[in-house]
Amino acid sequence: MNKLPKVFANPINKDIINEQKLYRSDRKNSSTVSINEIDNLLNSNRHIYRSKVKINGEVKVIIKRVGDYLLAIDNEKINIHDINSFETI
């Protein structure tokens, strides 16, 4: 069997930091709708299983809130931070 040449591997003696930070300027940092306003609707006696609301001018039927998202009846996830207007119907 032929002898293969040895391969030199330079030892790494320092910490490797290969994380990159990503900044987006097209998203708004704060929405004009209070999260408490959404929570008040979902925790009220009016909301049993679903509530009909108008979000950013579109009529949606929301079921519940999970983390930073609202779940709609048509399996749509709506980010709370993207909501500019919110009203119950």
**Which one-letter amino acid corresponds to residue 21?**
K
Q: What are phi and psi of 35, to 5 degrees?
A: -65, -30
43 lies in some domain: no
45 lies in some domain: no
81 lies in some domain: yes
Query: What pLDDT score was predicted for residue 15?
Result: 84
Of 14-23, 31-40, 50-59, highest mean pLDDT: 50-59
Q: What share of the chain is helix, strand, coil (3-state, %, to 5)?
A: 10, 25, 60
Domain range for 77 is: 51-89
Domain count, the chain: 1
Q: What are phi and psi of 5, to 5 degrees?
A: -70, 150
Query: What pLDDT score was predicted for residue 70?
Result: 93
55 lies in some domain: yes
66 lies in some domain: yes
Predicted confidence band of residue 6 (pLDDT cuts 50, 70, 90): confident
CB 31 within 8 A of CB 54: no
Looking at 15-24, 35-44, 70-79, which range is the least confident one?
Answer: 15-24
What's the CA dihedral at 47, 48, 54, 60 to 10 degrees?
160
pLDDT in tens, 37-71: 888 888 988 888 899 999 988 999 999 999 889 99
64 lies in some domain: yes
85 lies in some domain: yes
Query: What pLDDT score was predicted for residue 53?
Result: 93
